[in-house]
Amino acid sequence: MENQTFDKDIGNLGETLLSLVVPVFNEADGIREFIFAVDKAMSASWPEPQIAPRLEIIFVDDGSSDGTSTIVRTLRKGDARIKLLTLSRNFGKEAALSAGLDAATGDAAIPMDVDLQDPPEVIRPMVEKWLGGAKVVNARRCDRSADTMFKRSTSRLFYRTINMVADHKIADDVGDFRLLDRDAIEVLKQMTEHTRFNKGLFSWIGFTTETVEYVRPEREVGTSKWRTLKLLNLALDGIVSSTTLPLRIWTIIGALISLGAVAYAGFLLVYTLTQGADVPGYASIMITVLMLGGLNLLSLGLIGEYLGRVAIQVRGRPLYVVESREGF
């Protein structure tokens, strides 16, 4: 699809199509509230319907076991904007988001969470930045007081850590909630990574980027599906997907230890020839062996993380499997 050219005037939006991409997993309680909130925000942002952008709302059901798909189908009967992409099983949010972006047909797409922690009121400021020439518009959480102290602390640690090692830094406190121009979407669709870390991909593609800020509200419905272990796995995927610096660090550490060993061996040779041999110390030998053994195991584990992802990639399996498409 070729991009349309728009004047930088908020009144020229009537011919544009925005795709809201909403991955859902066991979110039956939140679907209706989400659509109501979107309609309310759009009416407030563009009081004159004829100049408001058109919407398609793509729900990606990531293997839900509740009535999520049933509710979406029911709502679709009276609302042609609603589309449903059902995956054959739970592939994870990163894959579900990629499926939604692949299916989006709009001039721009906005990934959103159904829990309304991504407030629909931010859509208009993002659209205005887009009309001003930005290809990517990040939505930055300037106030996360609604999150727990643990979540704020771990999030801060994650962003600080990944930006210390990543080849391309990701924006602090910016999740998947952002506006992506059609040009950006087409580039993302060419990405073949199976270990998906979308925040890193959004950063890697570049393009002119602007930022809008918002206060992150509390989750209105349902409960978070992100558990501590899942978040740790996502953080590890993010680091491994964004850089090979950890491997280079271990190359440097290995080189330094080798140089130290050669220097120490030379020292022992000279000392033995000049001073005679001392009785060897059990403690020093054990400390050295345990330290080097631990470093070896740690470095092998790190290599294994990268190698495992290479194995996943070369299998060539699809990132996700679509069971049904409705409304497309």
What are the C-alpha distances in Å from 60 to residues 93, 128, 176, 178, 202? Answer: 9, 27, 15, 17, 19
For residue 224, what pLDDT is reported?
55
For residue range 95-133, list pLDDT tens digits in order.
Answer: 888 899 989 888 899 999 888 888 888 888 998 888 888
What's the rounded Cα separation, in Å, for the pair 230 and 232? 5
The residues, any chain, with a CB within 8 Å of residue 62's CB and separated by 6 or more, are 23, 24, 25, 87, 90, 91, 92, 93, 95, 96
Q: Residue 11's pLDDT is what?
A: 46
- Whole-Å CA distances, 268 to 12, 164, 185, 290, 327: 80, 39, 62, 20, 77
pLDDT recorded at residue 146? 58
Chain-centre distance for alpha carbon 152: 17
pLDDT of amino acid 77? 87
Query: Both ends of the chain: CA-CA distance in Å?
Result: 15
The confidence score (pLDDT) of residue 144 equals: 62
Distance CA 66, CA 74 (A): 14
Name residue, tokens 């194995």. 311
Per-block average pLDDT, block size 10, for the chain (328 residues)? 43 75 87 89 79 87 86 88 90 87 90 86 89 87 66 68 67 82 89 78 83 76 57 62 66 70 69 65 62 72 72 76 87
* Dihedral sign for Cα atoms in the order 190, 193, 199, 204: negative
Tell me if 108 sits within 8 A of 130, measured CB to CB: yes
| Maximum Cα interatomic distance, the chain, rounded to a whole number of Å | 95
Pairing of strands 17-24, 322-326: unpaired
SS3 of the chain = CCCCCCCCCHHHCCCCEEEEEEEECCCCCCHHHHHHHHHHHHHHHCCCHHHCCEEEEEEEECCCCCCHHHHHHHHHCCCCCEEEEEECCCCCHHHHHHHHHHHCCCCEEEECCCCCCCCHHHHHHHHHHHHCCCCEEEEEEEECCCCCHHHHHHHHHHHHHHHHHCCCCCCCCEEEEEEEEHHHHHHHHCCCCCCCCHHHHHHHCCCCEEEEEEECCCCCCCCCCCCHHHHHHHHHHHHHHHCCHHHHHHHHHHHHHHHHHHHHHHHHHHHHHHHCCCCCCHHHHHHHHHHHHHHHHHHHHHHHHHHHHHHHHHHCCCCCCEEEEECC
In this predicted structure, what is the pLDDT of residue 286? 58
Q: How far apart are CA 234 and CA 94, in angstroms?
A: 9
pLDDT in tens, 207-235: 888 888 888 777 655 555 555 666 566 56
Residues 6+ apart with CB under 8 A from 164: none
pLDDT value of position 5: 42
Return the sign of the alpha-carbon dihedral for residues 141, 143, 144, 149.
positive
